[in-house]
Amino acid sequence: MADAKQTATLSFDGKTLELPMLSPTAGPDVIDIRKLYAQGGVFTFDPGFTSTASCQSTITFIDGDKGELLYRGYPIDQLAEKSHFLEVCYLLLYGELPTAEEQEDFESRITNHTMVHEQMHNFFRGFRRDAHPMATMVGVVGAMSAFYHDSTDINDPYQREVASIRLIAKMPTIAAMAYKYSIGQPFVYPRNDLDYASNFLRMCFSVPAEDYEVNPILSRAMDRIFTLHADHEQNASTSTVRLAGSSGANPFACIAAGIACLWGPAHGGANEAALNMLREIGSVDRIPEYIKRAKDKNDPFRLMGFGHRVYKNFDPRARVMKQSADEVLDLLGVHDNPTLQVAKELEKIALNDDYFIEKKLYPNVDFYSGIILDAIGFPTSMFTPIFALSRTVGWIAQWKEMIGDPTQKIGRPRQLYVGKTMRDYVDVEKR
Ligand code: SDX
């Protein structure tokens, strides 16, 4: 625990409380209010947790004003350029970049857990073919706890480790199965001679009727997208996983809860919504109409892929994603992608509009990712499952940290109650 170097004085109702202030290695100091209710008889009120630190963590740090994102201290742009997803997974899980031997062992453990229990194929057949792949993923990942009984005891470090490896290894297989099921094609088994991203692309796009060669440009772009989405401190879905885990729920149930939360269009569902929005806008000359709607308080429309609770500057992941979109489309020979043109023009107009400047609304990770995923060949319905696949390692790293935190208690917020005070029951004939 960070140590208290000073205190915050709180005076009310004739009382004065001295609350310890804790200093981080980076970011704002925090006021430790754990004893506030016991000493002062009051709660704090912070719906949406805009000013609340729910935990202490060593995994990911975001500087929203500077637009910086660090995984265990390493800047995201360096990792996106120089590392690869399974190395980033090792870093997030164990805190340091691996040696060559450590990486080889880790990748071998992941590779040898990529198949799912054969009976899990039956789960998919219970869904309609047109079910959203996120619906099938929530169901199938939650059901993993019905199969892997030997890795559900969260108090056993060995079982926690096995569950972590299984989830990271099997998410691409489950996501690919959700996609194949939705298009009526047979499931494709993982291959141990392929890297993580190439394996996923092959499980999604190969068919038994012909050979399939993974395009290295696409697998590199896929791997980079996984890295960019891997973790993001205490976002909504990670907080969901931590809260579910604080009750002692098994890891598969916790990750299924994270997938469910990520699905929302205000969160991970924004990548699907952003591409659908760019397609609906359709051409550059229609952008002003949508900018007007986004600024209209009476219109619920928002620019999907814009704005962020923490970033009040460019999301560093959006910078990398934008550069990657240019590279991938160029290498694929797609030079006049109308959706990319609309995205770039929309970004330019929005960033020069007083409304967006005043509210510090910038493109976020979801604004450009859909353009790359579309170029790779995915339907928009697969965008959030790919986000969930990528974020699984972040959820697990945060879940393991939460379990290992000696100060950890079950998460149980209080409330500002504004309902009816106690009153007696009224018989129906007297109402
Ligand atoms: C992700 O938390 C994370 O780290 C998430 C994430 C991760 O990696 O886990 O980064 C992934 O979820 C990225 C965000 C994806 N969502 C979207 O792109 C959906 C569109 N964005 C908005 O819904 C919104 O910006 C949020 C939800 C992302 C952030 O919302 P906040 O912080 O609660 O801010 P807010 O809704 O209170 O907005 C502040 C103001 C409001 O105006 P006022 O009420 O102050 O007048 O800005 C406006 C909003 O109306 N605003 C927008 C806007 N986003 C905010 N106006 C138009 N278009 C937008 N996109």
**Residues 241-260: tens digit of each pLDDT:** 999 999 999 999 999 999 99
> Separation of 158 CA from ligand 1 center, angstroms?
39
Tell whether the model's pLDDT for residue 2 goes beyond 70. Answer: no
Model pLDDT, residue 3: 64
Atom of ligand 1 nearest to the CA of 302: 58
pLDDT of residue 413 exceeding 70, the answer is yes
Burial of 64 (0-12, 13-18, 19+ CB in 10 A): middle
Which is it for strands 15-22 and 30-31: parallel, antiparallel or unpaired? Answer: antiparallel
What is the number of other CB atoms lying within 10 angstroms of the CB of residue 23? 13
Q: Which residues pair with 60 in a beta bridge?
A: 71
Question: What percent of the chain has pLDDT above 70?
Answer: 99
- From the alpha carbon of 229, which atom of ligand 1 is closest? 8
Q: Give the length of the chain.
A: 431
Measured in Å, residue 308 CA sits from the centre of ligand 1 at 4
Q: What percent of the chain has pLDDT over 90?
A: 90
Going by alpha carbons, the residue nearest to atom 51 of ligand 1 is 307
Q: Which residue has the tokens 């202490």?
A: 56
**Residue nearest atom 13 of ligand 1, based on CA coordinates:** 267
Coil, strand or helix: which one is 305?
A: coil
Q: Which residue has the tokens 């974020």?
A: 391
Structure tokens at 123: 């789960």
Query: What is the 309 CA–ligand 1 centroid distance (Å)?
Result: 6
Q: What is the mean pLDDT of residues 281-309?
A: 94
pLDDT tens, residue by residue, 384-407: 999 999 999 999 999 999 999 998
- Using the atom order of ligand 1, give the atom closest to the CA of residue 268: 12
Give dist(CA 280, CA 273) in Å, integer. Answer: 10
pLDDT, one tens digit per residue, over 177-233 is: 999 999 999 999 999 999 999 999 999 999 999 999 999 999 999 999 999 999 999
Q: For residues 413-429, b (16+ Cβ closer than 10 Å) or e, as one string?
A: eeeeeeeeeeeeeeeee
Mean per-residue pLDDT over the chain, rounded = 95
The alpha carbon of 36 and the centre of ligand 1 are apart by a number of angstroms equal to 31
CA distance 160 to 403: 10
Residue 204 CA neighbour count, 13 Å, CB half = 26
Residue with the bigger pLDDT between 138 and 334: it is 138
**Cα–Cα distances in angstroms (integers) from residue 387 to residues 76, 104, 272, in the given order:** 16, 25, 10
| C-alpha distance from residue 44 to each of 32, 47, 116, 246 (Å) | 12, 10, 45, 21
> Does the structure show a pLDDT above 60 at 1?
no
Q: Whose CA is nearest to atom 45 of ligand 1?
A: 359
Find the mean pLDDT for residues 368-374: 92
Please say whether the beta carbons of 371 and 325 come within 8 A. Answer: yes
CA–CA gap between residue 225 and residue 318 (Å, rounded): 11
Question: Is 366 part of the annotated catalytic residue set?
Answer: yes
Nearest residue (by CA) to ligand 1, atom 37, is: 309
CA distance 431 to 428: 5
Instruction: For residue range 137-165, list pLDDT tens digits in order.
Output: 999 999 999 988 888 888 899 999 999 99
Taking residues 310-338, what's their average pLDDT? Answer: 89
